[in-house]
Structure 1
Amino acid sequence: MFRQTKSVFQKLRYLSFNGQQHTWRLKSTSARERALQYQPGQKIHGFTVKEVVAVPDLFLTAVKLTHDKTGAQYLHAARDDSNNLFSVQFRTTPMDSTGVPHILEHTVLCGSEKYPCRDPFFKMLNRSLSTFMNAFTASDYTMYPFSTQNGKDFKNLLSVYLDAVFFPCLREQDFWQEGWRLENEDPTDNNSPLMFKGVVFNEMKGAFSDNERLYAQHLQNKLYPDHTYSVVSGGEPLAIPDLTWEQLKQFHATHYHPSNARFFTYGDLPLEPHLKQIQEEALSKFACIDPKTEVPSQPRWTSPKEDHVTCSPDPLAPDPNKQNTVCVSYLLGENGFEERRIEALIHKLEIQIKHQTTNFGLSLASYIASSWNHDGDPVELLQISDSVAKFRQALKENPRFLQEKVRQYFKENTHRLTLSMSPEESYLEKQAKAEEEKLQKKIEVLSDSDRKQIYEKGLELLAAQSRTQDVSCLPALKVSDIEPTIPITPVQISTAGGVPVQYCEQPTNGLVYFRALCNLNTLPEDLKVFVPLFCSVITKMGCGALDYRQQAQQMELRTGGMSVSTQVITDCNELDTYEQGILLSSSCLERNLPHMFQLWSDIFNSPHFDDEERLRVLVMQSAQELANSIAYSGHLYAMTRAGRHLTPAGDLQETFGGMEQVTFMKRTAAMADLSQIIRTLPRLKIHLFNPNNMRCAINSTPEKVSDAAAHLEGFIKDVAKNRKERKPVRPNIIEKPINPLDDNGPRRKLISEPTFHPCPMKTFFQMPFPVNFVSESIRAVPFSHKDYASLCILARMMTAKFLHGEIREKGGAYGGGAKIGGGLFTFYSYRDPNTVQTLSAFGNGIEWAKSGKFTQQDIDEAKLSVFSAVDSPVAPADKGMGQFLSGVTDEMKQSHRQRLFAVDHKNLVDVAERYLSAGQKTCGVAILGPENDVIKKDPSWIIK
C-alpha cells in the first residue's frame, strides 16, 4: 500500500483510545506500572534503556531503548490494552520515481529465508487472529505494523515480520509479479502482443486516476524540489519500468538494516520477550552501519513561485466548466484569533484524547512515525498535556503569539508555491500514448531470443502462480485456540417521552455517546433520493439563533461532532425485509450534555434552509466529494450496483450510496436555481424528525446514565411538536421487537416485500480510469440462517485459496476476493487491468468450491480469518450497537459462532452448489472502468 505522509493536523486525529481492558480500573499489576520499574542505563537482551516516562494523558508508560550493536531505536508503550501492536519502520528515501520503496514493500512480503513459501504475509491472514496486518509506503519511510489480542499469535507474527523485512528472498519472479514485467497479453500465446504488467504498476495507474491524489503529489514534488520529496516514492507509472531487479536488491541492503530501523511495540504484553525475540531472530546477525538515509533541509526560496499542471477531465464533476484547482497561502487578519476559536480547538483535542477506539496502538504508531523518522523525540510527542500547557503559557506571556507565528510562517515566508491544475481534454490520450511509446522503446531493442525468454519467463511465472504452495513452514494458531464463547454486553431497554431507548453502561472515559435512528416509512418515494443530501447539510446550515458559522463553533466547543447518515439494514431473519432510516450520531464530555441536546433540539425544531448561497457551497462540496471517491472506492460502488435488483434493500442502497446518488448530486450541483431543493428540505424534515418514528441509544459511564436519561427526556419533550401521526407510504410494515428475546418490549418498524423477485442485470459505467473495478453479486441468505456461517467461511477460503491467485497474482489487480453481507454473496476486484477475465475467475472460483478440492487445513485457516474479524475489539462507544441497529443480540452472535465452529467440508460444497452455482442465473454484475469494446458489443450489458 502506498500513502503520502499525513499533515500534523491529520495526525492529531489518531489520538484515541481502546477501552477494551477497562483502563479506568488501575491495578498494581498493570502493564503501565510494570514498565515504570525500568531504569535508564538498564541492559535488556542487547538493548539499553534510555528513558522511562509516565504519560497519564494516554494511560501509558513510554520506555525508550537503543540497540547496543546496531543503534536501532525502540519505543515501547505499555498500556492495559490486549490489542497489542508491533511495527518496524525504515527511513526510505528514493531519488527517482521508479517506486523502488513501494515495490520493495510488496516484494519483501513474498517469502523469506525461514518462510520461503510464496506470499507468507497474505497466508498469515488465514493462520492467525490478527486484528490488523498491513504495510505502508510513505514519502520517506516504510512501515510494517500488525496487531493481535493473542500472545501466541503475536510471537508467530513477529517471527514472520522480522524474517520478511530483514531476510527476504527477493526473487526475480516476485519482482516481476509485484513490480513490473514485459509479458505477452496472453502468457500462453507467444504471438499475443507484449504489454506492461505488475501489481504496483497497475496500482499506481489507478492511484493517479484520482485528480486529488495527482494534485497532492505534484504539490509535494514542486514544493520540495531538491531531494527525495521531488520524486514519487510510490512510483510514477511511466518510470516504474526503469527499475531493475538489481536496483531493488541494492535498495534493500542499504535501507532495510537495523541501523536504519525504528521499532515500536504497544499493549499489555511484557517488553522483555519482545526484545529477546527481536535480538535473537534478527538484530544479533547485523553489525552497525551508516545507512546515509538522512533527508537534508530543503534550501529556502528567496521569492515565491508559481506552477501549473494538467489532469484528466472529470465527467462527474458538478460543473464541467469549474474543474480548476489552486493552492495558495493567504494573509490572515492582523486582529488575532477569537479566544472561543482557540478554546474550541483545545476542546477538540481533549475529546480526541478521551475518545476510545479499538486500534489505539496503530494510531499511535502512525502519529509518531513521521517525526520519529526525522529523529524527533517520540516520547515528547506523546506528552500532549505538556504541549497544551506550553501553548497556553505562550499565549499568556504574549497575546500576539499566534499572530507572530502567522507572520513568520505565512506572510514573511518566501518559500511559497502557488500551484494550479486544470483539466485537459486530451490528458488520458496523452497518457496512453506516452505509455505506448515507453512500451515500444522497450520492445524495439528486443532480439528474437529476448522475446523467447520473455515468453518462457511468463510461462514460468504462470506455473509458479498456479502451483500449490507448501505453507507448513509458517506458524499458525489452531481453531482450538479460539474462545468458544463471547462476552455478554448488558443493555437496558427503556423509554424516554414514549421513545424507545437502549442504555449501555461502558467505561467511556468521561464521554457520552448518543444515537437516534429515525425510520423513513412515512416518506414519499419521490423524496428518497434527496435523503443523503438532507443528511449532509442538516448540521451545517445553522439552527435556532445560530447561523452556520456559530453552529459549527458551538459544535466544536460543546461536542465531539454531530452527524446524520443514511441507514439501510437488511433484517437478520428475512431477506425480503429491511429497515430504512437515518442515524443521528454525536458525543460530548459529560459536562456538556445539556449543550449537546440543545443543539439537537434546535436542529429538529428550527433548522435553517433558506440560505441558498450556503446550500450551494454544501451541494458543490458533497457532489465533488462523491465524484472524487469513485477512483478510490470504485469497488464499493460496483458492489452496490451489482446487488441493486437482488434484494428489496438493494435498490434503496443504490439510491442512497451508489452511482445513482453520484449522478443525482451532479445534476443538483449543476442547477442554476436551488429553490426547488430549498422547498424540498423542509418536507423531508417533517417525516424524518418525527419522534414517533425514532428510537435512541446512549452509551456512557454507569455514573452518568441517569443524567443522560434526564437530558434525553428533555430533548424528546422539546421536539414533541414534531410528533405527528403520519401513515406509512407502504402498507407492508411489520413490527419486530428491538430485542428478539423480549416480544413485549419496544419494536422496530420494518418494510416487508414478500412478493419481491430478484432479476439479473449487468451494468457498465465508463470512467476516465486506466483500471477497472469489477463486481458480481448473488442472492444468498440472512444472518440468522443456518447456512450463513458456511457462506462466511466459503467467502474467506475462496479469497485466500483461489481468487487472490487468479485476480492479483495472475491478473495483476491490486486486490480482489469475495464477501457476504446484507444477504448477498459478492465477488469484487480493485484497480484491475481486466474485466471479462476477472468475471471468468469469479465463475471458476465457484466451480473450484463445488469440486471440493480443498483440505481441512484450508477450512481451518478460513475459520481463523473469519474469527479474527468476528472477535475484533469493540470500542465502548460501539458496544451494543449491533443489537440497536440490526436486532442482532449477543445470543444470536453466539449461535452464529457455534455454527462457524461446526462448518465442515460437506457444508461448503453444498452451499457452493445451492447458492452460488444456482444463483449465477440471477446474479447482478457491475463494472466501472475505461472504454471497453468487448462489453459494448455485448447487448446484455447496460452502458452508462
Structure 2
Amino acid sequence: MTPSGFICLRTHHIENLKLQFEEYRHQATGAIHYHLAGEDENNVFLVAFLTVPEDSTGIAHILEHTTLCGSQRYPVRDPFFMMTRRSLNTFMNAFTGSDWTAYPFASQNVKDFDNLLRVYLDAVFFPLLDPLDIAQEGCRLEFETPDDSHAPLVYRGVVFNEMKGAMSSSSQVLSQKLNEALFPTITYHYNSGGDPEIIPQLTPSQLKAFHASHYHPSNAIFMTYGCLPASHHQALFQECVLTHFHALPHRIFVPNEQRFSSPQVVHARYAVDKPELARKTHLVTAWLLNEITDARAVLNVQLLSDILLDNSASPLRYALESCEFADSPSSLCGFDDSTHEIFFSCGLEGTDAEYLTAFETLVNDVLMDVVEHGVPQEQVESVLHQMELQQREITGDGMPYGLHVLFNALVPALHGADPIPFLDIDPLLQALREDCQRPDFIPQLVKDLLLNNAHRVTLVMSPDPDLAQQQLQAEKEKLAQLKAQLSPAERQAIIEQAAILKARQEKIDNPDILPKVTVDDIPDTLKLPESYQRDILHYPATWFAQGTNGLVYQTIIMQLPQLPPELVDLLPIYCEFITELGCAGESYLDTAARQAAVTGGLNARLSVRCGVDDVQQTHLFFALEGKALARHQADLSQLLHDTLMSVRFDELERLQELMVQLRSSIDSHLTHRGHQLAMTAAASGFSAAAAWHHRWNGIPHVYLVRELEQNMANKTALIHFSQQLAAIHELLLNAPRQFLIISEEEHHAPIAHDLAQIWHSIPVSLTDFSPFKTIPVKQKMEKIWQLNTQVNFCAKAYPAVAIQHRDAPALTVLGDFLRNGFLHRAIREQGGAYGASASYHADAGCFRFFSFRDPLLMETLQAFDQSLIWLQNNTHNEQALEEAILGVIGRIDQPLSPSGEANSTFFAQLNGRTPEQRREFRRRVLKVTITDLQRVAMTYLQAHFASTVVLSSAHFLAEVPELTFTREVL
C-alpha cells in the first residue's frame, strides 16, 4: 500500500499508445484511480461519478454548475471562472452526460496542475451549494423589473436558458424524444440536461441530497494521464479528500432496461417557425443492444455500424442518401455508446409521416440483403482499417490528447467494466479480424443485433408551427398563475432574493484565497515545430518530422485564383463536394470505398486571413488534405492526385443529393452556430477577409444553399451548377501549387519518392494565372435575423488593426480583461445567458462582443457598452491585468496534436505569421499595461464605428420595438 492509502492492483503496457496503464484502489474508501503514465507534459486529471437522474429537472446538470460556485476551502463566489484566469491551463471544463458527470482539466505546468487539482477536489467533494448559487445557475423566479412586484413574473437562470437554447434545435429534440421512447423505465428516459418546463420544480434540498448520495469517493473514479507519477496525484487525493470519507456499502448503478416484446412506433412534435411543413418530418428507428461493459460486444456493434453507415458506398447509408422520399440521412445515424446499454439508430430527415411504412421497409430490405448476400470482404477490411487508424491517431486539436484517451474508457469504467480492453484494443481487433474471415459473421450480427431484436423504436417527429407559441403561452400562463397565488410576503421575498443575489454577484471576493500562477511562471518562449524545404520536382514542399504514431498527413495548397463574380460564392460548396464525388473515371461510390480503404478521409477547405500589417490585405488559399497509415502513404498521394486532377462533376444525381444534404445540415445547426453567425455578420464590414468569412461561412451562404437546393429539381439548373463547379476547378488547376507533409522522419524519403512518381507527368503552366483580388471594405451593419429560437444571440463589432500593429497585443488582452471584469458577471451571472465574451479577431481585423443562448437582448447590447464605461471610469488593479495576460498566453501556448501543431505553424507562416513574428507578439502581450487597455478601447471601440447584429425570435423582437435595425427572416 502506498503512503496515501492506495493499493496497486495491476499494471499493463499499451504499446500502440506508448502508455503504461496503472490501476489503484483506495483501501479506506474504495475509490478507484486509473493512471496512464507517459512522456506527455500536458498532464490531465478528471474525477467522474455515475449521476442517475430520476426526473427532467436537470438536477445533475445544475449540480455540475453549482458545484463550481464555491467550496469549504475556497469560499469565493466563482472559483472555477476565477481559476480560468489565474492559471496556465490547457483545458478546464465540466461535463454532464446522460448518466455521468465529469470534472476534467489539463496543464503543462506542475505548479498550475497542483493548484487546479486542489481547487477541483474541494469544489467537487465539499461545495457550499449556496441557495443563491443554485438560483443563479439553475432557475429562479424574478419580476421582469426585479424591484417591481407589479411587473410580470419571469424565470431566470443559466441552465434554464442553456437548455432553452439547446431544445430550440430539432436535432436535440429528436435525440431526447428517441431516448424517452427507447428507455421507458430508467434514467435515460429523462433529460439529464433539464427540460425547461420541468427545471423550475427543482429545490435546493433536492440538489443537496443528490450531491450527498452521488458525489462520494466510493462512487468516484479518478483518472490521470501524463508524465507526473500516480503517487504525486494520490498524495493530494488523500490530503484534500479521501481522509475525510469512509467506504459506502453499495455503489450506484444503472439497471438494464426492461425489454419490449414487440417493436414500438412513437409520434412526437418539434417547433418550426415557418408554415411550409412539406417534407419536414424526421423518421428514426433504433435498437437497444448490449451492455457497454463488454468491450468485444461494443466493437462488434461499431464494426456493424460502420459497415452499414460509414460512407456513401455503405449499404444502409447509400439507401438513405438515395431515398426518393426524404432529403438526407438523419443526424442520429450510427451507434451510441454513452449509455449503460448501447443502441444503434438510423433514419431520415426532410420527409413525411406518410412514408413511415416505406422507411421501415427500406431499412429492413437492406438488412435482409446483408443477411442473404453478406458484404464484400474488401468493405469489411476497409472498416477494420478505419478502426485501426482511429486507434493509432494522436488527436488533441479540440481537447488534450490525454483527455481524449481517458474518455475512451470513462463511461465503461463507471459502469464497472475493465478499462484496459477499451484502451488497448489491438487484441480485440485481431480477434475481430479473424472472425470477419467467416462469411456468416456479419450476417449473423445483423440477425442477432437487429432483425431478431424486438426492442426497437421508430420515432416519427413532425413539425408543428404552433408549438413554440403554445410553449411560450403555457409558460406565461403558468407564471401568471404563480404570481396570482403569491402573498404580499412572498412577493417581497422574491424582490429581496433578487436584490441579495445582485449584491452577491457584484461583490468582489478576495482572490488571494485561491492559488495562482503568475507571469513569472510563464515559459520563456513559444515552442513551435521546425520544418525544412525539399521540393517535389518543380513543386515547393514543406516537411515536418513529428511523432504521429505511424500516420502520414499530406496537404496540397494552392493560391486562390481570380474567379468570375458568378462563381465566387460557390467556392465553399465546391470545397464541400470535391471529396464526395467520383474521380479517375470511377463513380462516387467506388471513390468512397477507395477513400475508406486507404485513408482516414479527405477534406477540402479555404484559408482566409488578413495581412499582418494591413487588415485590407487578404491571403486566400485552397487546401486539399488527407491522412493515412504510413503503409498507405502512396495510396494517399495517388488519391489526392486523382481527386484534384480528375474529379467528376458530371454525376448530376450525386450533386443533387449532396446539395439537399448540405441544406439540411445547415438548417439543423443554425441555433448551434447562432453566436458565430452573429459575430461573423457584425464583423463583415471591417476588412476584406471579414467580408469573405461572412459570405462563405455566414448567413449569405445559408441563403445561397437554400436557393440552390430549390433549383436543383430543374435539370437545366443542375447542369449549369455542375458546369460552374467544373469552371472553378479548371481555374484552380492553373494555380501555383505546393505540398505540406507531416509524419515521422523515417517516412519522408519514401513519401518524396512516391510523390515524384505520381506528379512527374503533370505540366505546370502559370502564364495565365491571376490571383484572387479583394477590395477594401469599410461599412457598418445593423441587422436582425429572425429564426426559431427560445434565446438570443447578440454581437457587436468594431474595426481594429492588423496583428503586426503595436496596439494588437493590447486589444487581445482587452478581450479577456472585459470578460473577466464585467461581461461574465453582467451577462451570464446577472442576465442568465449561457455565455458572453469579447475578443480581438486578428484574421478579420476587428474587435467583437458576443452573447450565447441569451434570454435578454437590449440589456445585453447595453452591457457591451457599459463594459467600456466601466473600463474607463474605474481604477483597476495589476492582478486583474495579470489574469487577462495569463489567459492570452495560455491560448497562445496551448498544445495541439503533433500534426495539428505542424499544420498550424505552416499555415501561419504561409499567411505572414512567421515564428519570429508570433514570438514577438507573445513578448508584447506580456508588456501590456492597464493604460494600454484604456487607450486602445478609447481609440478603436467608439460607438459610431460599431456594427450590431442580433439573431432572435419573433417573440423577442415583438417586445423591443425600439430596436429599429433592418430585419430579415433566416
Normalised to the residue count of structure 1, the TM-score between the two structures is: 0.90
SS at match of 2:541: strand
Does the CA-based 8 Å contact 2:23-2:33 persist in structure 1?
A: yes
Does the CA-based 8 Å contact 1:529-1:656 persist in structure 2?
A: yes
2: CA distance between counterparts of 1:936 and 1:886?
Answer: 44
Does the CA-based 8 Å contact 1:86-1:147 persist in structure 2?
A: yes
Give, in angstroms, the shift of residue 320 of structure 1.
Answer: 5.0
- Within 5 A, what are the aligned runs for 1:844-859? 844-859=866-881
Q: 2:608 aligns with which of 562, 568, 575?
A: 568
Cα offsets for 1:516-540 (capped at 9, x unmatched) = 2323332112211111111111111
- Within 5 A, what are the aligned runs for 1:232-311? 232-290=191-249, 293-311=252-270
Query: Could you say which residue in structure 1 is the equivalent of 2:568?
Result: 528
* Paired AA for residue 869 in structure 2: E
Q: 1:827 aligns with which of 824, 849, 864?
A: 849
Residues 896 and 651 (structure 1), Cα distance of their counterparts in 2 relative to 1, 3 Å cut: same
Cα offsets for 1:588-634 (capped at 9, x unmatched) = 22222221122122222221112222112111111111112211121
Give, in angstroms, the shift of residue 832 of structure 1.
Answer: 0.3
1: CA distance between counterparts of 2:618 and 2:104?
Answer: 38
- Within 5 A, what are the aligned runs for 1:449-468? 449-468=489-508
2: CA distance between counterparts of 1:218 and 1:532?
Answer: 34
Is the counterpart of residue 214 in structure 1 residue 173 in structure 2? yes
Residues 176 and 118 (structure 1), Cα distance of their counterparts in 2 relative to 1, 3 Å cut: same
Query: Could you say which residue in structure 1 is the equivalent of 2:393?
Result: 355
SS at match of 1:630: coil
Q: 1:841 aligns with which of 842, 852, 863?
A: 863
Query: Could you say which residue in structure 1 is the equivalent of 2:786?
Result: 766
Q: 2:908 aligns with which of 871, 883, 890?
A: 883
Query: Could you say which residue in structure 2 is the equivalent of 1:492?
Result: 532
SS at match of 1:605: helix
* Paired AA for residue 78 in structure 1: A
Residues 235 and 290 (structure 1), Cα distance of their counterparts in 2 relative to 1, 3 Å cut: farther
Residues 766 and 752 (structure 1), Cα distance of their counterparts in 2 relative to 1, 3 Å cut: closer
Residues 232 and 752 (structure 1), Cα distance of their counterparts in 2 relative to 1, 3 Å cut: closer
Q: 1:375 aligns with which of 411, 416, 419?
A: 416
1: CA distance between counterparts of 2:68 and 2:220?
Answer: 17
Query: Could you say which residue in structure 1 is the equivalent of 2:945?
Result: 922
Does the CA-based 8 Å contact 1:762-1:942 persist in structure 2?
A: no
Q: 1:697 aligns with which of 733, 740, 744?
A: 740
* Paired AA for residue 620 in structure 1: V
SS at match of 1:130: coil
Query: Could you say which residue in structure 2 is the equivalent of 1:83?
Result: 42
Does the CA-based 8 Å contact 1:935-1:941 persist in structure 2?
A: no
Give, in angstroms, the shift of residue 274 of structure 1.
Answer: 0.6
Aligned length: 874
Does the CA-based 8 Å contact 2:562-2:772 persist in structure 1?
A: no
> Mean Cα displacement is larger for which, 187-196 or 54-63?
187-196
Is the counterpart of residue 910 in structure 1 residue 935 in structure 2? yes
Is the counterpart of residue 321 in structure 1 residue 309 in structure 2? no
Q: 2:725 aligns with which of 674, 681, 686?
A: 681
Is the counterpart of residue 169 in structure 1 residue 140 in structure 2? no
Identity of aligned residues (%): 34
SS at match of 2:583: coil
* Paired AA for residue 701 in structure 1: E
Give, in angstroms, the shift of residue 826 of structure 1.
Answer: 0.6
Does the CA-based 8 Å contact 1:254-1:291 persist in structure 2?
A: no
Does the CA-based 8 Å contact 2:909-2:915 persist in structure 1?
A: no
Give, in angstroms, the shift of residue 497 of structure 1.
Answer: 4.1
2: CA distance between counterparts of 1:132 and 1:885?
Answer: 28
Residues 593 and 483 (structure 1), Cα distance of their counterparts in 2 relative to 1, 3 Å cut: same
Runs of 4+ in 1 over 6 A off after TM superposition: none
2: CA distance between counterparts of 1:342 and 1:678?
Answer: 33
Q: 1:338 aligns with which of 346, 362, 376?
A: 376
Does the CA-based 8 Å contact 1:177-1:198 persist in structure 2?
A: yes
Does the CA-based 8 Å contact 2:277-2:463 persist in structure 1?
A: no
- Within 5 A, what are the aligned runs for 1:755-794? 756=776, 758-794=778-814
Query: Could you say which residue in structure 2 is the equivalent of 1:47?
Result: 6
- Over the aligned positions, Cα root-mean-square deviation in angstroms equals 1.8
Residues 446 and 195 (structure 1), Cα distance of their counterparts in 2 relative to 1, 3 Å cut: same
> Mean Cα displacement is larger for which, 111-120 or 44-53?
44-53
* Paired AA for residue 217 in structure 1: Q
Is the counterpart of residue 711 in structure 1 residue 731 in structure 2? no
1: CA distance between counterparts of 2:938 and 2:432?
Answer: 65
2: CA distance between counterparts of 1:604 and 1:898?
Answer: 41
2: CA distance between counterparts of 1:943 and 1:304?
Answer: 44
Give, in angstroms, the shift of residue 942 of structure 1.
Answer: 4.2
Query: Could you say which residue in structure 1 is the equivalent of 2:768?
Result: 726
> Mean Cα displacement is larger for which, 178-187 or 709-718?
709-718
SS at match of 2:47: strand
Give, in angstroms, the shift of residue 61 of structure 1.
Answer: 0.8
2: CA distance between counterparts of 1:869 and 1:903?
Answer: 16
* Paired AA for residue 261 in structure 1: A
Query: Could you say which residue in structure 1 is the equivalent of 2:966?
Result: 941
SS at match of 1:720: coil
* Paired AA for residue 362 in structure 1: L
Query: Could you say which residue in structure 1 is the equivalent of 2:662?
Result: 622
Does the CA-based 8 Å contact 1:170-1:249 persist in structure 2?
A: yes
Give, in angstroms, the shift of residue 661 of structure 1.
Answer: 0.4
Query: Could you say which residue in structure 2 is the equivalent of 1:577?
Result: 617
Cα offsets for 1:859-893 (capped at 9, x unmatched) = 11111111111111132213232434422111111
Normalised to the residue count of structure 2, the TM-score between the two structures is: 0.88
Is the counterpart of residue 104 in structure 1 residue 63 in structure 2? yes
Residues 718 and 94 (structure 1), Cα distance of their counterparts in 2 relative to 1, 3 Å cut: farther
> Mean Cα displacement is larger for which, 581-590 or 226-235?
581-590
2: CA distance between counterparts of 1:595 and 1:710?
Answer: 13
* Paired AA for residue 189 in structure 2: S
Structure 2 unaligned blocks of 5 or more: 287-362
2: CA distance between counterparts of 1:783 and 1:711?
Answer: 39
2: CA distance between counterparts of 1:172 and 1:143?
Answer: 22
2: CA distance between counterparts of 1:432 and 1:526?
Answer: 43
Give, in angstroms, the shift of residue 707 of structure 1.
Answer: 2.8
2: CA distance between counterparts of 1:350 and 1:180?
Answer: 46
- Within 5 A, what are the aligned runs for 1:16-165? 42-165=1-124
2: CA distance between counterparts of 1:314 and 1:556?
Answer: 39
Does the CA-based 8 Å contact 1:776-1:923 persist in structure 2?
A: yes
2: CA distance between counterparts of 1:854 and 1:629?
Answer: 40
Does the CA-based 8 Å contact 2:624-2:640 persist in structure 1?
A: no
Does the CA-based 8 Å contact 1:178-1:198 persist in structure 2?
A: yes
> Mean Cα displacement is larger for which, 621-630 or 346-355?
346-355
Give, in angstroms, the shift of residue 394 of structure 1.
Answer: 2.7
SS at match of 1:472: helix
1: CA distance between counterparts of 2:762 and 2:600?
Answer: 22
Does the CA-based 8 Å contact 2:736-2:766 persist in structure 1?
A: no
Give, in angstroms, the shift of residue 500 of structure 1.
Answer: 2.9
2: CA distance between counterparts of 1:203 and 1:291?
Answer: 34
Give, in angstroms, the shift of residue 654 of structure 1.
Answer: 1.0
1: CA distance between counterparts of 2:40 and 2:459?
Answer: 45
* Paired AA for residue 280 in structure 2: Q
- Within 5 A, what are the aligned runs for 1:648-659? 648-659=688-699
* Paired AA for residue 760 in structure 1: K
Residues 76 and 942 (structure 1), Cα distance of their counterparts in 2 relative to 1, 3 Å cut: same
* Paired AA for residue 837 in structure 1: E
Does the CA-based 8 Å contact 1:765-1:943 persist in structure 2?
A: yes
* Paired AA for residue 195 in structure 1: V
Q: 1:223 aligns with which of 172, 177, 182?
A: 182
2: CA distance between counterparts of 1:623 and 1:750?
Answer: 27
Give, in angstroms, the shift of residue 580 of structure 1.
Answer: 2.1
2: CA distance between counterparts of 1:697 and 1:142?
Answer: 40
* Paired AA for residue 338 in structure 1: P
SS at match of 1:499: coil
Give, in angstroms, the shift of residue 242 of structure 1.
Answer: 0.6
Does the CA-based 8 Å contact 2:786-2:968 persist in structure 1?
A: yes
Query: Could you say which residue in structure 2 is the equivalent of 1:548?
Result: 588
> Mean Cα displacement is larger for which, 502-511 or 251-260?
502-511
SS at match of 2:154: strand
Q: 2:640 aligns with which of 596, 600, 608?
A: 600
